Each structure stands twice: as structure tokens, then as C-alpha cells.
Amino acid sequence: KNQVEQSPQSLIILEGKNCTLQCNYTVSPFSNLRWYKQDTGRGPVSLTIMTFSENTKSNGRYTATLDADTKQSSLHITASQLSDSASYICVVSEGSARQLTFGSGTQLTVLP
Amino acid sequence: DADVTQTPRNRITKTGKRIMLECSQTKGHDRMYWYRQDPGLGLRLIYYSFDVKDINKGEISDGYSVSRQAQAKFSLSLESAIPNQTALYFCATSDPKLASTDTQYFGPGTRLTVL
């Protein structure tokens, strides 16, 4: 069964600090991996997407990495802001792109 | 999010009642999806539709049905609601012309409580 596991489940950091969120997956065959940000009470919004051949993708202060060999991805947030407080969800697409597997998310809280 | 709207945003109902959740989009996307989100779990796919004539069951379709009334509208029905269908429900759309990435755009969600 395809699975996506994220760690940590929750994280609290101070404003201005950096943090890294982890995603491990067993989805096969692999098509692509996305990171979504979900603010409380809202739907997820796409941050980055990476295909098999991409190792790194940046979107402002967000940088995602992908190691397709070890089936691991990370999302690094630089110089965190209060508005970064949200759930970050890793989503892996199976080869046909019809099947998505969602991680349960990492709840990030940024404190002033 | 304004391109994908869901109604109602919140609903409380009783066991056994029939409930319909509606989703409309102005993005012009052919593909639409219904998910549910439960605390501590990832989003799970209920149904998806790749065009008006194409409807497919997802991972957890039992107890649910859908109707794709038009390209822009995709409704989710709970024929006889039960308490374990209490969850946050999301509608999403995607553009098949970008099939290699197929990024999904989510609505704001409907919080459903079944008593």
C-alpha cells in the first residue's frame, strides 16, 4: 500500500528561525511530489512540485529537496514568519498521476 | 481559493439525514475531486471526475455519491449520514492540460457534523 509519512507531527519555533520538515514515502511508481500549505480553516495551497529528475525546488523562503533513491523529501523554511504557521502536507503522485497519496501533515507554529 | 467555492461552509445534521455538499469552480478545469480530512489523517479521496461523463470512485466512496452537473459543478451527497462521516470536506480542481504536474486547487472546505 502506498504511504506517505511526515515528521514531526508538530513543531513550534520562534519567529526568524529556520526549520526543516520531513517526508518519507513508499509510493511506486513515482510521478511527482508536492508540498502544500494549509492555513487553519482553509484548503491546501501548492508550494512546490518536483518530478523524479529534480533534487531541489525553491519558492521564496521555502526550499524543497527530493532524494528519489531513498524516497525522502524535505521542506526547509528560512527566516520563519508568523504567517508560516500552518499545516504542511506532503503529497506523492503515483506513476499514472491518477492516484495521490497525502501525508497527515506537520503542524508548524511560529511564535513571536 | 475564490475560484473554487463550496456550500455550505458549515453544517450540522442528524444521523439518517440526506446531505448534499456543493462545489463550483470558475477556473475552467475539467477535473474535480472530493476529499475528506480527519484529524491526524491525510486527505482521503472520495470521488473524482475527469470530465462531465467520467466519474470514478476513490479510496473511501462507500456511503457517498456524486453528481457532475456541469463542468463547473460537482456535488457530493451523503444518502444517510452517520456520525463517522463527521469531517472536513474539500473539493478540488485540476487542469488536464498540465497533466504532468496536475496541481490541484482546493476550495475552502465544508465542516460537516453528524449527530
User: 3-class SS at A111?
Assistant: strand
Which residues on neighbouring strands pair with residue A93, listed in sequence order?
A32, A100
Alpha helices in chain B (DSSP H): none
Query: B47 with B64: CB under 8 angstroms?
Result: yes
Say whether B1 and A43 touch across the interface (CB within 8 A): yes
Q: Is B57 on the interface with A (CB under 8 A)?
A: no
Is the pLDDT confidence value at A44 over 70?
A: yes
Model confidence pLDDT, tens digit, residues A19-37: 999 999 998 888 889 999 9
Q: What are phi and psi of B28, to 5 degrees?
A: 75, 20
Q: Is B75 on the interface with A (CB under 8 A)?
A: no
- How many A×B Cβ pairs under 8 Å? 48
Is the pLDDT confidence value at B112 over 80?
A: yes
The confidence band for A94, taking pLDDT boundaries of 50, 70 and 90, is: confident
User: 3-class SS at A84?
Assistant: helix
Say whether A102 and B92 touch across the interface (CB within 8 A): no
Amino acid at A93: S
Between residues B41 and A108, the one the model is more confident about: A108
Measured in angstroms, the CA of A17 and the nearest CA of chain B are apart by 26
User: Which candidate in B5, B29, B41, B104 is best for mutational testing of the A interface (most A CBs within 10 A)?
Assistant: B104
Amino acid at A66: L
Furthest-apart CA pair in chain B: how many Å?
Answer: 42
Q: Is A34 on the interface with B (CB under 8 A)?
A: yes
Model confidence pLDDT, tens digit, residues B54-109: 999 998 999 999 999 999 999 999 999 999 999 999 999 988 676 556 788 999 99
Say whether B102 and A97 touch across the interface (CB within 8 A): yes
Say whether B42 and A103 touch across the interface (CB within 8 A): yes
- Residues A58, A59, A64, A69: is their CA dihedral positive or negative? negative
Instruction: For residue B98, give the C-alpha cell.
Output: 498540465
Distance in angstroms (rounded) separating the CA atoms of residues A68 and A25: 10
**End-to-end Cα separation, chain A, in angstroms:** 41
How high is the pLDDT of residue B6? 97
**For residue B111, what is the DSSP state?**
E
How high is the pLDDT of residue A41? 84
How high is the pLDDT of residue A28? 85
Measured in angstroms, the CA of B100 and the nearest CA of chain A are apart by 8
CA nearest to A106, candidates A46, A25, A18, A37: A37
